[in-house]
A and B are shown apart, each in its own frame.
Chain A
């Protein structure tokens, strides 16, 4: 099995799931890493240390900024001349796009969001979630190369072997583009939900703190949002103690408490943390589907009948506004923070 692994990065910072893809490739034999861009020395060094046996480098200033057409055409050119059986990618905004375009160029197709990949001889069977993870399907692709993007945290991350290195081979960059990048406004993103080992999430309940009095002069909706922000501050404090990310239910997002980028489940994200703490979330069906891959769910809710308790390992029936700060203090003590 000749396997390529595309190492996705932004300005030289690689996506952690790229190393998980390398680990997966190594389980089938050897792995050839693909690195596109310029000033990517760190990406290459890490690729070798995480197990790449060779790096194919498309080093061109035209690839400094990701653009769909340049990346897709560069990949198409190298895949058609080198004929890999399989190309693995971490699933990101970039790979979902250009892997799909390159697969089309090569009369193949892409399979996204893989949570399991089984190789038997030349047959590759991929498991992926569908219907917001309410179901899973096993699919196969009858064309080669096979393009598979893997879901973050679905496969083990290999050990980094300091000082490991290998051969770098330059490949041609394709530079014809249909768009121009004008610039970036890089957000202050904390830990992303996709990569988070711990997620602390808030629901509609975060605005219901009876002991809070909103500042004078706010109308009812503004007062509700002000209260919700106080609630999400408690949730954020706990998340930061645990080095985790802040999530939210659709109800909290729809109510305007927090941006939709924090939404888990439904039209949001499927997540796979080690620990998911749901605060004031009742547990709508799509939210429960979205957190199904969490290793442990802890639920804090006033309503003992809330469906979220059906999917939780531990539950507290109580007021999140007193439990969450107490939990934060207890974790700080036990973790020595």
Chain B
């Protein structure tokens, strides 16, 4: 199988993200591979192991610096990586990202399975996988915790609010994965060495033969969350029971329940 893992680079989850002068600032926090996308790479590597002769390509839209996120995927074990980068891509919405990814997937050619993480930590809509599937005209299998390929078919278990749904589809397909796919493997020493030497091709929009998709969703304002004037009150008492008694009375008095 030819497997693609779509990834994105985002500020680390520990970053103190703030709105500063109408833009997003994360200070000196590092940019990392989106944590959910590590599961997509893990799922892709599992499928390569399950179906002999398979390859895994990590695919990313982003600036030159996003090569670091692709190198993480290579260090985990991906066979190759491709960066789509173009100054015209600064204002992509999710539909735009889906159109660009679909064009890159078509250019790669002969792809059987495209994996995504469930959402990104930055703008986090969690819809790009479904929209990419729609552009390609392939089946969309969302929020998948288990994948089994048998010839030209794929059976998955989707994790939904109410439990698990078993679904079958033909390849090619687009799958978004959830954490029960398995913990992402750590990059090996050999993997890190290989990744540091890898040359990552950069494709521009003209390489893909498309123009920049105009966004229909645009941001008009960026807000820090409302500051909460938090008057903490520490409850003390002679015994746990006494503390509990006071605490329950205070909670009930504020009528939040």
Residues of A near any B CB (own CB < 8 A) = 10-11, 15, 65-69, 72, 92-94, 96-101, 103-105, 107-113, 125, 127, 129-143, 178-187, 189, 192, 197-198, 242, 260-261, 266-267, 274-275, 284-286, 289, 292, 295-296, 298, 304, 309-319, 322-323, 325-327, 329-331, 334
B243–A323 CB distance below 8 A: yes
B257–A275 CB distance below 8 A: yes
Q: Which of B135, B219, B231 contacts A137 (CB 8 A)?
A: B219
Within 8 A of A (CB), among B188-231: 215-225, 228, 230-231
- Extra contacts, 4 of them, besides A15-B161, A68-B140, A178-B139 (Cβ < 8 A), are A68-B142, A104-B135, A132-B13, A138-B223
A135–B161 CB distance below 8 A: no
User: Least Cβ distance of A85 to chain B in Å?
Assistant: 14
A286–B241 CB distance below 8 A: no
Point out the residues of chain B lying under 8 angstroms from A67, CB to CB.
Answer: 167
| 5 A-B pairs closest in CB distance | A178-B139, A100-B127, A326-B244, A186-B163, A187-B163
The answer to whether residues A330 and B241 also contact, given A179-B167, A266-B13 and a CB cut-off of 8 A, is yes
Which secondary structure characterizes the binding site on chain B?
Answer: mixed
Taking the complex as formed, is B147 at the interface, i.e. its CB lies under 8 A from any CB of chain A? no
Question: Quick one: which of A65, A137, A242 has the most chain B CB within 10 A?
Answer: A137
A104–B17 CB distance below 8 A: no
Contact digits for B124-144, partner A, Cβ 8 Å, 1 yes 0 no = 111100110111001111110
B13–A322 CB distance below 8 A: no
Number of A-B contacts defined by CB within 8 Å: 256
B232–A310 CB distance below 8 A: yes
The answer to whether residues A107 and B167 also contact, given A135-B18, A298-B247 and a CB cut-off of 8 A, is no
A141 to B215, alpha carbons, bound, how many Å? 9
User: Least Cβ distance of A62 to chain B in Å?
Assistant: 15
Q: Which of A113, A134, A304, A319 contacts B225 (CB 8 A)?
A: A134
B14–A285 CB distance below 8 A: yes
B248–A331 CB distance below 8 A: yes
Point out the residues of chain A lying under 8 angstroms from B57, CB to CB.
Answer: none
Return the chain B residue nearest A127 by Cβ: B223
A101 to B141, alpha carbons, bound, how many Å? 13
A93–B143 CB distance below 8 A: yes
User: Least Cβ distance of A310 to chain B in Å?
Assistant: 7
Return the chain A residue nearest B26 by Cβ: A131
Q: Which of B122, B170, B225, B249 contacts A334 (CB 8 A)?
A: B249
Point out the residues of chain B lying under 8 angstroms from A112, CB to CB.
Answer: 125-127
The answer to whether residues A314 and B162 also contact, given A136-B223, A182-B155, A330-B244 and a CB cut-off of 8 A, is no
Return the chain B residue nearest A123 by Cβ: B220
Point out the residues of chain B lying under 8 angstroms from A99, CB to CB.
Answer: 127
Chain B interface bracket (under 10, 10 to 19, 20 to 34, 35 or more): 35 or more
User: Least Cβ distance of B32 to chain A in Å?
Assistant: 12
Point out the residues of chain A lying under 8 angstroms from B134, CB to CB.
Answer: 72, 100-101, 104-105
A327–B95 CB distance below 8 A: no
B257–A274 CB distance below 8 A: yes
Return the chain B residue nearest A195 by Cβ: B161
Q: Which of A93, A313, A317, A329 contacts B230 (CB 8 A)?
A: A313
Point out the residues of chain B lying under 8 angstroms from A131, CB to CB.
Answer: 11, 17, 24, 121-124
Contact digits for B81-121, partner A, Cβ 8 Å, 1 yes 0 no = 00000000000011100100000000000000000000001
Q: Which of A100, A187, A292 contacts B164 (CB 8 A)?
A: A187
A318 to B238, alpha carbons, bound, how many Å? 12
User: Least Cβ distance of B147 to chain A in Å?
Assistant: 13
Point out the residues of chain A lying under 8 angstroms from B165, CB to CB.
Answer: 65-66, 181, 183-184
Point out the residues of chain A lying under 8 angstroms from B13, CB to CB.
Answer: 132, 266-267, 286
Q: Which of A10, A109, A311 contacts B93 (CB 8 A)?
A: A109
A112 to B122, alpha carbons, bound, how many Å? 13
A129 to B233, alpha carbons, bound, how many Å? 28
Return the chain A residue nearest B36 by Cβ: A267
Q: Which of B93, B124, B127, B131 contacts A132 (CB 8 A)?
A: B124
Point out the residues of chain A lying under 8 angstroms from B164, CB to CB.
Answer: 184-187
Taking the complex as formed, is B185 at the interface, i.e. its CB lies under 8 A from any CB of chain A? no
A316–B247 CB distance below 8 A: yes
Point out the residues of chain B lying under 8 angstroms from A327, CB to CB.
Answer: 244, 247-248
Return the chain A residue nearest B158 by Cβ: A93
A334–B252 CB distance below 8 A: yes
A48 to B117, alpha carbons, bound, how many Å? 38
